[in-house]
Every structure is written in C-alpha cells, then in structure tokens.
Structure 1
Amino acid sequence: MEITKPATRGQDNQLLSVGSQTSPIYCSFIPKWLPSKKVLRTDDNVIRRREINSNLKRKAQENLHEKPAKLLQTQLEPNYLNVLTTQDINAIRQSVYYVRSKSLPKLPKSTEEAQDSLDKINVTILADKTSVTYGKAFSALCDHLNLQVVFVDFEEAIHIALQKMWPSVNIKGCGFHLSQSWWWMIQSVGLALEFRDKDSGIGGAVKYLFGLPYLPPSDVLDCFTDDLMAIKPIDDKIDKVFDYIFENYITPDSRFPPKMWADRSSAFSLTTNGCEAFLSKFNKEFNITHPNIFKVIDILINIQSETQMKARNHLIV
C-alpha cells in the first residue's frame, strides 16, 4: 500500500527507506540542514595536527624554560613528518609562545618591583654602571661578605665602589679583558694587519706587550721602558699603542697598575672566565632577546637551588 503525501512548495522531498522495502513517502518534516555523509567525514591529518598542537602546548606549560625548537624535536614522531607542513610548524610555535605568555605573572612596572621579586636569591638588577649604583649593591652584601680578593674587569666605577666598601680588598683585573682592551687599541690605530703578519717588525714589537702579564708586578715597568721601548720601531701608530698602555697600565699610579693584572704565579687563572661561562650558559636558557622578568627569576632560583645542593654535598670544586 502506498501512502502519498503531497510535498509543500519550497520544501525538500526525501525518500524514506523502511527495512528492505522502499516506500515512496514524501516526508516534508526532514530538515534540510541535517549533516550529509560528506560533512561527517573527518580529515585524519587535521585530527593529528590538533593532537600534536595540544600535546606541545601542554609540554610548553610544564617545561617553561625549554626551547620551542627542542620541544618540537622531542615530541614529534617520525610518522608525523607527512602530516605537518611548514605553516603547521610555525602555527604550533606561535601557540607555544602564546600559552607560555599567559602562564607568566604580571610584569613589574619599576625597578623597585623587580628588586622585590628577587628576595630569594642574591641577584641585583642595576639601573646603571656608576660607582654610586655599585656601592648601593655592595652595601647590601657587606654584612655577609668579607672580601679579600675579587676578580673584575677593567671598569673604574666598580673598582671605586669595591675599595670604598672593602678598603683592604685586593682587586685583580681579568686577563681576558686586559688583552681585549689592548687589542681594541691596536685595531683602532690600524695595526691589525701588521699584528697578524709574522714577518712584520711592528707586529712583533706589539706582540711582546702581551707577555707583560706573566711578569712579577715589580718588573713590569723596567721591562717596558728598558726592553720593549728599545726594540720598538719608529712609527706613529705603534707610538699611540705604547703611549696608551704606558699611561693606563704600566706605572704604579696609573688607572690600572701592574699589581692589578700582572702575576707570574697565577697568570693563567687571572680571568673572569668562570663568570663568562655562567653568563653564556645562562643566556642559552632563553629563546628571545628580552625575556619576561619572571622567567629570568625562575631560572635564577633554579640555578641557586642547584648550587646550594652541590655545596651541601661538597660537590663544588
């Protein structure tokens, strides 16, 4: 028996299938917006991309100090290589940055607020590099430290602050920064090529200057005036180099006298390489030029905790 219902104009006519028999019943009550088979079909690649993105965002929140590139390398499986494109990688990286930025606290609005966030560790954020600022930083440490020897670079402001806070402190200049300062002077007068030329008399005379840090402080002045000046070629450029070193480093009353940087017994250890190595490792913890201050604090706290643990277990050598 066939039951036929006229279709209303403007409505879709659908053929209703019941069991194994097809009844030509025109049903105007079936909505037009019901999803078709094509709409219900899901793209597997899209699901995988979303899964990868979700996993990486979760890992980024759990490991805030891990670089996004490293997260991608460790989390991506080989079977994902045919799924992701360059645009997908860039989108995932941006989502990692975004989810991390949301997890960080509000940035401080002043230097004082930043200082208040560093109560757990002995780290000071300096507004500038004047002797007054250095003095304020050292005044917070003077009750906890009794410095006898300190290794710093050749910066007068920090030397003045150290001597004012600890009058008997023995200031030692970094050998690396000493050589760097002299080399900059050599470059500024245009003697870099002569310095690299093994057959150049001017270059040879300049190279002898770098042997002065290996002498006892009391012998530096005599060696410079009696030995090095005697073999110095006549040249305006080399005269500028010798005058600069003599005025700033050679005499006992110069800005940086020999007792600060010359030491035959421990010349190889008179550097701040340990500090430079720490800064290099510290900088590698960040993947942007200007990181969030709270991220900096978290990394410093982790380093401080690790150092204290090693100190308690006598692992520091």
Structure 2
Amino acid sequence: STKYQCPAAYGVSNTTRAVRLIRPHINHEKDKLANNVNLGRQHLKENANSGTVREVIDDMRFTFGTDTSMMMGDYNAKRRLVHYEKSQSNSEKKLIDSGGKIKGQFAETMRKTRFLLFDEEVNGKRMIAFASDEGLEILSNGNVCFVDGTFDSAPKSFTQLFSIHCYISEDVVRPVFFCLLPDKTLTTYTSMLTLLKNRPELTNWAPAMIICDFETAIHSAFKDKFPNVVISGCLFHLVQSWRRQAEKLNVYNSFVDGEFEEFWQLLKTLPFLDEFDIPDYFDAILEHCVPLVISPDMKNYINYLVKNYVGDAAPPRFQPRLWSCAVRTASNIHRTTNTVETWHRLLQSVATMHNGFSSIKLSDLLVKLQKEERHTYLDYNELKVNPNFLVNKARKTSNVMKDKKLKNVIENIPVIPRAPLSGIAYLKAIFYAKKT
C-alpha cells in the first residue's frame, strides 16, 4: 500500500514563543492531546500576569481539561513555568518604569501585533504614542474626532495622556490613538500631530470636525495641520465654564432660584442656535430678562459673556462658531466629549492600583491601554459584520425621543401654514425640548 507523509507543521515565534498552525494534520489521526499540551503551555505563558499563580493555572485547567493538565505535569511544573514568565515580564516592567525603552509585550497589542507607534524626544522631552493597525485604519477614515487629555492617569515624567476617539458606527465612539505628553503646549501638540501625520497609513487623513474642550493650544495645533477642519467646543465644558464664573462672581444662586432664573435657562439655549444668530438672540435675552439696574457682579458676568463668547465691537475670545452645536445636533453628532470623559474614568483603576502608595507606573497604564485597544478592535470587527449590531448599552427611549424632539425644534420647520418660531418663543421651545 502507498504511504502518505503527514504535511502538518507548526511555527513558533522567536520573540513571543507563540505557536501557530501552518498546515493541519491529514492522512492520520491527530494527536490532539499532544497539541493541547503545547497550547496549554502557551496559555500559561500568555496569561502569566493576569492573576495569581493559582488563578492562572486554574484558568488553563478549566480551558483545556483534566487530561491536558495532567500531561503538562504536576502543580509545581506549571507553577515554575508561570513564575518564569512573570520574572521575564517583571524585568521588562522594571526597565519601562525606570524610563527605559518600550519593547516586548508592552510594544504589542494583546494579539501580538504592533502597538507602539513612536517613542521620540521632542525639544528634550519624551513623547510616546500607541495605536494598532486597526486603530490607524479607523482614524484614517475618521471624519469627526473627539480629542482630550487626562492628567489623573499620567505616569511620572509625563503631564497627560492624550487620546483621539472616532466613530466606528453611526453612534459608537471608541479610542484609537493614545499619546503620553510631557506638557500641554502648542509646540508639543503640533509635534505630536506631525509625527502622527507622517505615518503612511494617515497620508489621506483629513478630519472635517474636531470636538474638544476650550484649550486654545489644541485648537491651534489642529488648525495648523488641518486648515479646513472645524473646531467644535464641548457643550458640557462650555456650560461648566459659564457656571464656574457665575459662582465666582456670586450670582449663581440667583440663576437657580432667583430673579435671573429665566436668564440662565435661556442663556443655555444659545449653543443650539446657528452661530450667526447668537449675538442677536443674546441681546434679546438681555432685553427680556435683565432690568436696567443690576448689581455690579451681574454686570461683570454679562461683560464676561460678551468678552469671551458673544462679542461686540471686538470679536470674543471664543467665537460663536466654536461653541454653536446646531450643526452637530441636526447631524446627530455628539455635542459633548462626555464619551471621552467616561473613558477617562475607566482608567482610574490604574491610578488606584497601588492604593496611593506609589505613583502611576507606565507598565500598568500600558496593560490597561492594551485592553482598551482590544475592546475597540472587538467592537470594530463586530460592527463591520453588522453596522447595526448593539455593542453599547441601549440608550433610554426617553433620551432618544428627547434628542429627536430637540432636533425638530432646532430645524424649526413648521407645519404649513404656521410660521417658524423666532425670538424668545424659539428659545423657550429649545429649553422645553431639552428638559422633556
């Protein structure tokens, strides 16, 4: 009889020691147990730092079963393998946390693909960025980007963790780019964007809109690199700034339950107007709500709004085109960076990992960012298969209906023969649409 040689082949990475199947077994019964032993050992290595030694071993036993576990050796044999992998990892962690080069598992995604984007010294200060190939793919197609920095999760020697988030479906936003920055200057932001744009994957990246807070250095850096981009301020940060100034000038109590309650209610409808209509409607609010004689504090507050947001003879510091969200609302684009702020809170586990007894470690942060990248990758793949697949918790029906009602009011297209709303009546319609 003719004998056939089995062409089965496995490959083992020289760097990660990961096992991959090149050609499957044919022509004879597979030695599944031996194969599972190899995969079980790889499982222990890859997950050595995912918990205690006992937890890591138990996870492997549960995944591969009793026969595979016993063929791999007794508890001590498995324990030695896990401890060895931990020691190898610990040496890399110590190197990274002491300011050394990022390499090995910390330069890769959890899928063992490239994660480290660049590690550069700019003007004598270190800047490190991370993004997977899939993240760059999402970013290259990102028409609307949300950007922000957090200071609470920055390791020693860095001021902030800056991130860029993009839509991966009609209403799902995920982080795709992470960068540790030494400060928050225009030079640093510009250098970061230059390094990012130099990536061949981003040759054609040209975002139409950047949504961020009111940090002028970020605005200027993006405008420098993308002259046609629309910089759109976060509605939450806008109202927060208005409130803080009101509290500082001791007029906020009169906004909550006092003579200027209606003024405050109508003021917060201005961002939902077209940028060119805002100055006239601001004057209408003053005429309707503010008497001729007011306290010096209230006068100072109105002057603050004019100088910084509305303008008069001179343009304001933040022109209405920056903080009007009428276009965003009509286009179903997020009006705030709250999705980014929520993501920042997910990073708090890194800040509290050592109960405040030590500063944030770069290695701990990178492990968290790898997990966040994996989350984006998994959601992105599911949404490529089905763009309507639910990867987020479903929004409350009441919130969906409120957004729809608000959009209808802002578009201000009445049923014939009614005329479009205008003046204070229009502002009140926006206010009630926001509340109900």
Task: Give CA-to-partner distance per residue, 1:42-70, whole Å, 9 cap, x none.
Answer: xxxxxxxxxxxxxxxxx995338xxxxxx
The answer to whether the aligner puts 1:153 opposite 2:143 as a matched pair is: no
* Aligned length, in residue pairs: 222
Counterpart residue number, 2:233: 173
Shift of 1:105: 2.6
Match of 2:51 among 40, 63, 86: 63
User: In the aligned structure 2, how far is the partner of 1:231 from the partner of 1:117?
Assistant: 51
User: In the aligned structure 2, how far is the partner of 1:193 from the partner of 1:136?
Assistant: 44
Match of 2:266 among 192, 208, 211: 208
Cα 1:116–1:226 shift into 2, 3 Å: closer
The answer to whether the aligner puts 1:109 opposite 2:171 as a matched pair is: no
Shift of 1:140: 1.9
| Bigger share in strand | 2
State, as a whole percentage, how many aligned pairs show the same letter. 25
Alignment-mate amino acid for residue 209 of structure 1 = L
User: In the aligned structure 2, how far is the partner of 1:120 from the partner of 1:166?
Assistant: 20
User: In the aligned structure 1, how far is the partner of 2:128 from the partner of 2:262?
Assistant: 53
Alignment-mate amino acid for residue 287 of structure 1 = T
Choose 158-167 or 249-258, whichever is displaced more. 249-258
Counterpart residue number, 2:247: 187
* Rg larger in structure: 1
Shift of 1:161: 0.7
Counterpart residue number, 1:14: none
Task: Give CA-to-partner distance per residue, 1:116-152, whole Å, 9 cap, x none.
Answer: 8755654211111111111111112224131111100
In structure 1, the residue corresponding to 2:260 is in which secondary structure? helix
In structure 2, the residue corresponding to 1:201 is in which secondary structure? coil
Alignment-mate amino acid for residue 313 of structure 1 = E
Paired residues for 1:34-49 under 5 Å: none
User: In the aligned structure 1, how far is the partner of 2:347 from the partner of 2:261?
Assistant: 37
Alignment-mate amino acid for residue 105 of structure 1 = K
Where structure 2 has 5 or more consecutive residues not aligned to the other structure, the ranges are 1-46, 53-86, 101-118, 133-176, 384-388, 393-436
Cα 1:129–1:240 shift into 2, 3 Å: same
Counterpart residue number, 1:4: none
Contact 1:206 1:238 in 2 (8 A): no
Cα 1:183–1:167 shift into 2, 3 Å: same
Alignment-mate amino acid for residue 109 of structure 1 = G
Shift of 1:182: 0.3
User: In the aligned structure 1, how far is the partner of 2:127 from the partner of 2:236?
Assistant: 34
Contact 1:118 1:297 in 2 (8 A): no
Counterpart residue number, 2:375: 306
Counterpart residue number, 1:162: 222
Match of 2:364 among 284, 295, 301: 295
Shift of 1:235: 1.8
Paired residues for 1:244-255 under 5 Å: 244-251=304-311, 253-255=315-317
Contact 2:350 2:364 in 1 (8 A): no
Shift of 1:274: 1.1
Shift of 1:206: 3.2
The answer to which structure, 1 or 2, has the higher relative contact order (CA under 8 A, 6+ apart) is 1
Alignment-mate amino acid for residue 364 of structure 2 = K
User: In the aligned structure 2, how far is the partner of 1:260 from the partner of 1:281?
Assistant: 28
Contact 1:115 1:124 in 2 (8 A): no
Match of 1:259 among 321, 324, 345: 321
Alignment-mate amino acid for residue 258 of structure 1 = P
TM, length-normalised to structure 2: 0.46
Choose 218-227 or 228-237, whichever is displaced more. 228-237
Cα 1:192–1:117 shift into 2, 3 Å: closer
Where structure 1 has 5 or more consecutive residues not aligned to the other structure, the ranges are 1-58, 65-98
Cα 1:108–1:241 shift into 2, 3 Å: same
| Bigger share in helix | 1
Contact 1:150 1:171 in 2 (8 A): yes
In structure 2, the residue corresponding to 1:123 is in which secondary structure? strand
